[in-house]
Structure 1
Amino acid sequence: MSTTASHAHVIRRPQDVVDLVNTHPAIRSGLGITLIALGGILIDAYQAAMIGFGNRYIAQEFGISPGLAATVNASVLIAALFGGLMANRVVERFGQRTAFVIGMGMCTVGAAAVAFAPNVLALLLCRIIMGIGLGIDFPLATSAVAELRGSSSKKTGTSVNLWQMGWYLSTTVVYLILVPLAASSVAEPDLWRYGIFIGAGFAVVVMILRWVYLGESAMWAARKNRFDQSCRILKTRYGVDAQTASDAVAGTEGATDQVKGAYRILLSGRYRRRTILGCVVATMQAWQYNAVGVYLPLTLAGILTGGLTSALWGSAAVNLLCGVTGGAIGSLIVQRVGARRQSMIGFGFVVAALLILGLVGRDNPWLALGLLGSIIFFHSSGPGGLGMTIATMSYPPSIRPAGVGFARAIMRTGAIAGLIFWPMLWQALGTDAFFWLMAVPLVGFLTCALIPWEPIGADVDAEDADVLAQISKG
């Protein structure tokens, strides 16, 4: 036997692969690879901001009310809700590499078609296709990041939470693309179509980069009893020598393939409180963001003078200075502060900022701009990314896509509420609408205060064998 083989880890069951991945970060797991894995989330952010900008133009072009236009646009979130629930089944059936192509491929096709939608029904259908793809993609992305680092790594929470910084980088790109388009010969009502089509091109780039740099999941291969494939992935991606034992025990492929018990486990026993915390944080942050963040140009246009160009530059500045900075700081401090406590602090500051906005927002435009920036900052550094971080870090690999998908699906209800109701509230109440919005972060704050679960530093991957046993028992 060779020297390498004599020192190789022996794989006898799927949990052996899980344990090795958990304790051995990937050779290439830096910022670049992390952002590639999170690429679908960046596309989600880009398209959400672009369609939010285009809402009033869509209403004008198709002869519908802004509320109905927002409802049509929110169809992407409803579809993403169902896509998130499908994610675990898709990845278990096809594997990580192919599932990434399925999710982002649907998003690409839908986005390209949206740019040429001739009527509101075509727009609705395209948005649904986009939404299913985005819903499938998000749980895969955060699970892939967790697998690159391993849940026992102190850097895993930081890496997973980087999606929030990436989100604001992506939304900043939206406004930086719209500014030159608006200055060119493109008609203002058509800006959103050009922007959506450019986003489809970005999605193609993400698909190619993922196919080349991410590849297949070693854990998935092990759960499918493809131990030799797992050993090859462990060697090339993690630098770990491993070999399959002659008495290797097959895993419960049928149970994980059907994933019938995954959602039952999420809502029972020790996972119930984790699920509630992750879902509430994710949902409340989505609600407040889709009210303030997605419609930031609309809100700023009602506060600042200078027309569309001023609103776009203001939106870009707020996203870059407050959103990107907040996301970066949040990722750096989450390991020290903890995901739950950091979410609670962020929610608390958003409540205070909304209260002040409601009181003085109409009287001092620059103060209002600063307060909107503070909302974006404390959202981004606090609960904005941590709902998904909590969901990703609270479950072992066998149910992680289901847990993230479920939290993301529930989160979409908050996003839908913010996307649909905020234009109506803003039109009817003006800055008094901020008082109503205060209830959203307040619910998030109270939930964090009442549920003490902290996923950062918890070795949840060690629970995988027990969860698989529970699934197999039905």
Structure 2
Amino acid sequence: MSVTTAEPANPGGLPVIRKPQDVIDLVNEHPSLRGGAVAIFVALGGVLLDAYQATMIGFGNKYIAAQFGISSGLAATVNASVLVAALIGGLASQKIINRLGQKRAFVLAMAVCSFAAVAVAFAPSIWWVLVFRVLMGLGLGVDFPLATNAVAELAGAGSKNSGRSVNLWQMGWYMATTVVYLILIALNSAGIVEERLWRYGILIGGIFGVVVLVSRYFLIGESAIWAGRQGHYDEAVRVLWDRYGVQAVVAPEAESDVPAAERTTKGAYRILFNRTYLRRTVLGCVVATMQAWQYNAVGVYLPLTLAGILTGGLSASLSGSAVVNLLAGVTGGAIGSVIVHRFGSRRQTMTGFGLVAVCLLLLGLLGTSNPWLALVLLGLIIFFHSAGPGGLGMTIATLSYPPSIRPAGIGFARAIMRTGAIAGLILWPMLWGALGTDAFYWLAIVPLVGFFTGLLIHWEPMGYNVDEEDAAVLQEINLEGK
């Protein structure tokens, strides 16, 4: 640890750093000079890889089952192992980030994801698929809190662009899923055997992961807030200047011995359930879980669903999936990010859930009568999901907590969210196989749960400077740590 001990030259009245909160305030007040779209999507690279691999493995589910001689339900369960592992990784993310810092944790998480993706592509048995999917899940679980936390820092929590920037992960998700279908269409046109398309697709995803890893290393770097919390004030000053254009000096009386409890934020998960944060935690977790459930039923298995509705075989289902994701998913995510600051995350979430529920009921009622009507309704479901709750569960979790417990809040919400993803991934093929389009009636219950949760819990993080609560949270952490 290095702390300036001499009286710093400060002729221009530069900001003075005496404690970690001073670093947090400067980050909060000054959006990053590198906070443009490129930096944001590089920071969200793990989320994009998650979307890519989830969609690719969803497409390959029936081929995996056939190749390894197992049932489609067992194949879906093996594929869902990535979500269980991600749940564990999300809960461990706070400790890993505190120990390694943003830069090294970013590199580690993405290296694990990239290696696992390449390994899955060459897996000789279903058991090796299971092992490498678990490894990938651990990396993805750690990565997501890093990604959204980094975006919040890049935008500045006090900026009206913070919610807009964080919520861009949903637009990025659908961009990645659209790329999946375009790659599959290209591979299919190139004459790749249909049963091996998933292997080639997953391998390409591993290469994308390496590109993200290298880009992050050079574009994102270390977190000034993490450096300040560790007492590395000279490093925090360097990051503030390099990333935010803020020139600051370290005071001679700066806290050179930051309390251990404050450095590690031990006890952060307990604080998520205290009187201040319980409602925020419940709202973020329920919204994230219900949106994951409905997406993993409809979105991940979109080619399977379309194949049962449209004629034209694999080419038609892939093309239809690409069109739906591009026109509905990407557009919905972009519109949702633009309007969220005006309408608020809670109201926008409720609206999205309500409209998804209506479309699901109509799809169950009319889905078999007209394939084009079914395609339009599926597109509307993806659109309202993407513009509404699809991204806002994690946006609410990101913007509801100050920096000291933000990784814990995001990690916990993301971990709980995985239970919804698992339910959608495993249960939907069973419901679809047993009930056909009548399964949409049952799925409509999921968005209705999300709608009524938003109706009952009145919390709106948009426009609220949650970083101002950090000092009080750290005081509580220090008291609990004694």
TM-score bin, normalised by smaller chain: over 0.9
Q: Secondary structure, in 3 states, of the residue corresponding to 1:173? A: helix
Instruction: Tell me the distance in 2 between the aligned counterparts of 1:176 and 1:250.
Output: 54
Q: 2:438 aligns with which of 426, 432, 454?
A: 432
CA displacement at 1:257 relative to structure 2: 4.5
Partner of residue 103 from structure 2, selected from 78, 97, 112: 97
1:109 equivalent in structure 2: 115
8 Å Cα contact 1:225/1:253 also seen in 2 = no
Task: Say which of 152, 177, 185 aligns to 2:183.
Answer: 177
Q: Secondary structure at the match of 2:462?
A: coil
Q: Contact 2:56–2:198 (CA<8 Å) still a contact in 1? A: yes
Greater CA deviation, 402-411 or 177-186?
A: 177-186
Structure 1 residue aligned with 2:136: 130
TM-aligned CA deviation for residue 258 of structure 1: 4.1
Tell me the alpha carbon deviations over residues 249-271 of structure 1, each in whole angstroms, 9 at most, x when there is no partner: 24645214544310000011110
Letter in 1 for 2:64: I
Q: Which of residues 33, 46, 54 in structure 2 aligns to 1:40?
A: 46
Structure 2: give runs of 5+ residues left out of the alignment. Answer: 1-6
Query: CA–CA distance in 2 between the matches of 1:278 and 1:5?
Result: 46
Q: Structure 1, residues 196-254: CA drift from partner, whole Å, max 9, x if none?
A: 00000000000111100010000000000001110111111111111110001246452
Distance 1:170 1:258 in 2: 34
Q: Tell me, what secondary structure is at the counterpart of 1:452?
A: coil
Match of 2:249, SS state, is strand
Q: Structure 1 residue 381 and structure 2 residue 381: aligned?
A: no
Question: 2:453 aligns to what?
Answer: 447
Task: Tell me the C-alpha RMSD between the 2 structures.
Answer: 1.1
Is this contact kept in 1: 2:8–2:250, CA < 8 A? no
1:213-252 correspondence to structure 2 within 5 Å: 213-250=219-256, 252=258
Q: Could you say which residue in structure 2 is the equivalent of 1:340?
A: 346
SS at match of 2:464: coil
Query: Partner of 2:81 in structure 1?
Result: 75
Q: What is the aligned partner in structure 2 of residue 24 from structure 1?
A: 30
Runs of 4+ in 1 over 6 A off after TM superposition: 1-4
Corresponding residue of 2:90: 84
Count of aligned pairs between the two proteins: 474
Matched, 1:323 2:329: yes
Distance (whole Å) between structure 2 residues aligned to residue 280 and residue 461 of structure 1: 23
The Cα of 1:436 is off from its aligned counterpart by 0.5
Aligned partners of 1:310 and 1:228: how far apart in 2?
Answer: 58
- The amino acid that maps onto 1:383 is P
TM-score by length of 2: 0.97
**Counterpart of 2:202?**
196
Q: Distance in 2 between matches of 1:223 and 1:161?
A: 26
Letter in 1 for 2:236: S
Tell me the distance in 2 between the aligned counterparts of 1:441 and 1:252. Answer: 45
Contact between 1:7 and 1:241, CA under 8 Å: does it hold in 2?
Answer: no
Partner amino acid, structure 2, of 1:28: R
1:290·1:418 contact (CA, 8 Å) conserved in 2? yes
CA distance in 1, matches of 2:259, 2:36: 32
Correspondence 1:140 to 2:142: no
> Residues 8 and 252 of structure 2 are in contact (CA less than 8 Å); yes or no, is this contact kept in structure 1?
no
Question: How far, CA to CA, are the matches of 1:253 and 1:64 in structure 2?
Answer: 54
Q: Are 1:287 and 2:286 an aligned pair?
A: no
Cα displacement (A) at 1:323: 0.1
Matched-pair contact (CA < 8 Å) for 2:107–2:213? yes
2:15 to 4, 9, 21: 9
Between 163-172 and 246-255, the greater mean CA deviation after superposition:
246-255
Confirm or deny: 8 A CA contact 2:14 2:248 kept in the other structure.
yes
2:57 to 51, 65, 80: 51
- Is 1:300 matched up with 2:289? no
Structure 1 residues 186 and 89, CA, compared in 2 at 3 Å: closer, same or farther?
A: same
Measured in 1, the distance between the counterparts of 2:318 and 2:257 equals 53
Whether 2:410 is the aligned partner of 1:401: answer no
Q: Which one of 265, 268, 273 corresponds to residue 262 of structure 1?
A: 268
Matching residue's letter, 1:154: K
2:167 aligns to what SS in structure 1?
helix
Q: 1:7 Cα deviation (Å)?
A: 2.4
2:448 is matched by which residue type in structure 1? L
Change (3 A) 1:105 1:215: same
Contact 1:279 1:410 in 2 (8 A): yes
Shift of 1:8: 1.3
Match of residue 361 from structure 2? 355
Distance 2:34 2:13 in 1: 23
Q: Does 1:310 align with 2:332?
A: no
Amino acid at match of 1:357: L
Partner-residue secondary structure (3-state), 2:285 = helix
3-state SS of paired residue (1:346): helix
Paired amino acid for 2:74: L
Deviation at 1:184, TM superposition (A): 1.6
Q: Are the equivalent residues in 2 in contact too, given 1:23–1:153 (CA < 8 A)?
A: yes
Q: % of aligned pairs identical?
A: 65
Paired residues of 1:92 and 1:256 also in contact (CA < 8 A): no
| Residue type at the aligned position of 2:110 | M
Check the 8 A contact 1:4/1:241 in 2, yes or no: no
CA drift at 1:473 = 1.3
Counterparts of 1:464 and 1:226 in 2: how far apart (Å)? 18
Determine whether 1:419 maps to 2:425. Answer: yes
Q: Do the aligned residues in 1 keep the contact of 2:290 with 2:447 (CA within 8 Å)?
A: yes
1:6 CA displacement: 3.0
Q: For each residue in 1:136-177, what CA deviation from the matched residue of structure 2 results, as whole angstroms up to 9, or x when unmatched?
A: 000000000000111110000000000000000000000000
